[in-house]
Structure 1
């Protein structure tokens, strides 16, 4: 809510309070002589019940309506208004809501009470105590209750959609909850009114205790339902995380699910690097907030560093609670913060920090759930890293770090399968280092290995993401180029040949003086393009090999040759 809106709301609230107090002192109301103790008891009962609300869809719902109904039926609208307003003020302060929420709640309940009272009077309802064997008129009381519910929901709908800019429907789940509770409250409220008319002060105890017990039971039930929902959500996320074997995918799944479940404007997953620093490995920042930069944090530095140091979670409801820990890493708009450690094998391996621009965005149950899911995440990341490391070893040449022949065969076979759908050509470059045996014999096999690695690095630099470079075997390399015509492949092959022939390669002379030495090498290249020059993987490789030996090696080496069928 903007500052201007808050100021206008405060003015309206003060004016409304002034009108209520003026009306209370001006208009005729039932005599309160002898009832002040009872009124105070009813106020105390309303406050106790209001401090144990049930939160549904972000709205706190309590049972003060039942007590306020009895107050209205016996003492009239003005007394009921004053008691309800005092109850709201105490509840807002106890629950530590922003001050402007007092204004919106105060005005809302004034309008609700006034509308309900008007309908009650229009339906012939009267104010005052009952005599022996008398009962209140049910139609006006039912009209009062229905009007209060509808007015309350219309105002809430307006506030959410127009003031707080939260999209919601008029008759959502919280409406059904309040309707259900009204069916419970209405008979209890009527019973309270009847008993108070007959028994006086003792009725406050008889009815008040059940009210408090019912409020506590329903609050506990709703809290348990919420925790059960969070636990089911946790189990689902844990299953999703452990099913994936890709680290990036795991992090994306985690942030997508958690930012949907919790109120999150900033989210940071930090990994402990070599036991020295916390580094951000994934972040989430909503579009409505500016990006902040976080460099490596040491143990004990900032909120995340404190969590790493202590191994315990930290939860803050508003800015002043965490300001002394922030060390300048927190966004200016931040309010609520929830930071938990990631454990694996009883050791902290990372930290997850969620930040919201709203106050009191995170509850104790959220902290508990986040701690459970963070451990799921730590295990899932470790499993994915181990899988990726194993997969990398199985697909790579241990010397050059290029893809190995088995991986190359799989990619080539997949290209033929995809070609049936795309009908796009793809090409193969087969490259062999000229006179490589001479390098080994002159400078040693270790020098030959260095040359292989340097040639591999040059090929990766030239090809980049435009193709797949693999070690074919010995001193031979192969390059797969998807969606590249034969003529373009020949140009690329010529550029590779020229680059290698013009550059020097530095080795150590292991068979001589052990000094570094710059040498020049050349390569012979054969090119074949599918499907014209190879209808299957084996034929394409064979034809590229023929081109290299007959068209390049046998004609002087340091050449590029194309297969001619």
Structure 2
């Protein structure tokens, strides 16, 4: 913005100094024989139509107006060509969407078109080119020279401006190559238009111009349909990839990354809609996920709220179109936005919102594709939720919700593989057994025993946290798997757990006596500890040795003790 504030006055000053005086000098030095006739009006009409119908190549609009301006220059001279070029510049100014304001783009483009036309025309005349020539070889040679000089000067002008603005790019880019190729393809058409006009007059622009316009429209429609087909195929591929994900977090992350890549977004947000509130689940900015700390908002707020309220997708091309909407926190430089509701079973569950720093970065076709992707996303998210429940049931104990023996066995085997591979240095296993648990069941009932198991599981889960894996081994036995723990450290942890459990009051409902009442009960545990690689070479060995320590070193020694396996 600061650069624009300094640049705009400078551009207008240069424009005022060069363009009006330059037009007068060009008119005086190269006066046109004809300033306006019906043929020129026909040329101008087709120049305007060509400016309104660009071809889109690799996402870049290509304006083929030079097939008309070359013919105008060869017939009417430099002054008329400058006027026609300035007219097409005005059309492109309002036709092309850009982040730069028109107050900056007008003087820059007008000055550029004038300088390029004047420079190229002077080169043309200085090497012997003539206006109104009827000699075919002269027309082709000097016409091609004119076109190539104009093209090279154009790219040099833009490159110098990039360097001055410190946005320098390489001089030869893919767009440059396309520009040269299009020029070579259009040039014969321009020469034919000039020669034919010299022969049949006003009918030439109509004879060549109308088919050219029709061809341009057909190519634009074909290009648009091809782009839609490509995007639909990409959307289908993304849907298949989402269907392969087994967890909801994987589905969300994959979806956000794929959508950002497909639509070339700078920002993407997945917003959850629940209990009449909006909560941002994922923020993806400049190709990476960003940690977030955003409070929930009422669902009526912001662009996401609008999408939910109307149950319809939204598309904004400029910030001024949505800036008055109170929305979730977004970057200041966002211009274009697409937002679409995420629905499942006819119920809105969230909103996908993507943004770009470029104005008018998204199209209606892309918004429709994003609606399709949101449907894939909702279905995949629901499937992943079912899969998580199925996996949880297969890996968890139904009573305590701790991991079960199956999961423990797989995790233990994987850990032992890491031990053998050298990627894990130490591994300890704590095996625990409730003392006199049978007498608790006999005295208070099995339901009370289950209540103790549930509360004990909660205590262990909270105490271990992310340090290891807690599992119910079977009955009243529990196992804690501790990667990176030495035997000495595991023994200290086991002793602390033993004391905490012994001092903890477990609440039970007596279920055998006629009158139910809440009681508090204290229990003790016998604990055995074994470690790898010193105590065992495989998973079975470390469990067996921890079990031996539990029974021989703790149970047989009087219970309520911690014992380490010794060879």
State the TM-score, normalized to the length of structure 1: 0.90
The 3 A distance-change label for structure 1 pair 535 and 333 is: closer
1:364-513 to 2 correspondence within 5 Å? Answer: 364-422=364-422, 424-511=425-512, 513=515
CA distance in 1, matches of 2:429, 2:340: 51
Partner SS state of residue 250, structure 2: helix
What residue number does 2:91 align with? 90
CA distance, structure 2, for counterparts of residue 81 and residue 330 of structure 1: 45
Partner SS state of residue 481, structure 2: strand
Match of 1:338 in 2: 338
In the alignment, does 2:536 pair up with 1:541? no
Match of 2:553 among 528, 538, 551: 551
Q: Distance in 2 between matches of 1:434 and 1:75?
A: 107
Written as runs of structure 1 = structure 2, the 5 A alignment for 1:304-319 is 304-319=304-319
CA 1:327–1:383 in structure 2 vs 1: closer, same or farther (change >3 Å)?
Answer: closer
Does the 8 Å CA contact 1:317/1:359 hold for their aligned counterparts? yes
Q: In the superposition, relative to structure 1, how do residues 159 and 361 fare at CA in structure 2: closer, same or farther (>3 Å)?
A: farther
The alignment's C-alpha RMSD in Å is 2.9
- C-alpha deviation, 1:287, in angstroms: 9.1
Q: 1:336 to 1:293 in 2, by over 3 A?
A: farther
TM-aligned CA distance change 1:329 to 1:486, over 3 Å: closer
Matched residues in 1 for 2:181 and 2:79: separation? 27
Distance (Å, rounded) in 2 between the aligned partners of 1:19 and 1:305: 55
Over 3 Å counting, the alpha-carbon distance change for 1:328 and 1:408 in structure 2 is: closer
**Distance in 1 between residues matched to 2:526 and 2:219, nearest whole Å:** 82
Out of 125, 142, 145, the residue aligned to residue 143 of structure 1 is 145
Q: Hey, what does 1:120 align to over in structure 2?
A: 124
Q: Which runs of 5+ in 2 are unaligned?
A: none
Distance 1:462 1:196 in 2: 91
How big is the shift at 1:110?
2.9
Q: Could you tell me which residue of structure 2 aligns to residue 102 of structure 1?
A: 106
Partner-residue secondary structure (3-state), 1:32:
coil
Structure 1 residues 388 and 399: alpha-carbon distance in aligned structure 2, compared to 1, 3 A threshold: same
Q: Once structures 1 and 2 are overlaid, which stretch shifts more, 184-193 or 113-122? A: 113-122
Listed as ranges, the matches of 1:186-205 within 5 Å are: 186-205=187-206
Query: How is 1:2-41 mapped onto 2 (pairs within 5 angstroms)?
Result: 2-3=3-4, 4-32=6-34, 35-41=36-42
Which 10-residue stretch deviates more, 321-330 or 520-529? Answer: 321-330
C-alpha separation between the residues in 1 aligned to 2:26 and 2:194? 22
Of the structure 1 ranges 424-433 and 332-341, higher mean CA displacement relative to structure 2 is found in 332-341
How many angstroms apart in 2 are the aligned matches of 1:375 and 1:158?
47
Name the structure 2 match of 1:48. Answer: 49
Tell me if the contact between 1:293 and 1:329 (Cα under 8 Å) persists in the aligned partners.
no
Q: Compared with structure 1, are the counterparts of its residues 492 and 251 closer, same or farther at alpha carbon in structure 2 (3 Å cutoff)?
A: same
For 2:128 and 2:481, the matched residues in 1 are separated by 89
Q: CA deviation at 1:347?
A: 4.2
Gaps of 5+ in 1: none
Structure 1 residues 243 and 288 mapped into 2: Cα distance closer, same or farther (>3 Å)? closer
1:179 positional shift? 2.8
| 1:208-266 CA-partner distances (Å, limit 9, x unpaired) | 22332232233233333433332333233223222222322332222223323334333
The C-alpha deviation readout for 1:165-223, integer Å capped at 9, x for no partner, is: 4x855433333433332233211111221222333333232232233223223323333
1:285/1:291 contact within 8 Å kept:
no
State how far apart, in whole Å, the 1-side matches of 2:293 and 2:497 are.
41
- Normalising by structure 2, we get a TM-score of 0.90
Map 1:206-217 to 2 at 5 A.
206-217=207-218
Describe the shift of the 1:486–1:294 C-alpha distance in structure 2 as closer, same or farther (beyond 3 A).
closer
Q: Which runs of 4+ in 1 moved over 6 A?
A: 287-293
Match of 1:185 in 2: 186
Q: 1:431 to 1:289 in 2, by over 3 A?
A: closer
Q: 1:170 to 1:309 in 2, by over 3 A?
A: same
- Asked if the contact 2:528/2:546 (under 8 Å) is kept, the reply is yes
Stretch deviating more after TM superposition (311-320 or 514-523): 514-523
Q: Secondary structure of the residue that 2:465 maps to in structure 1? A: helix
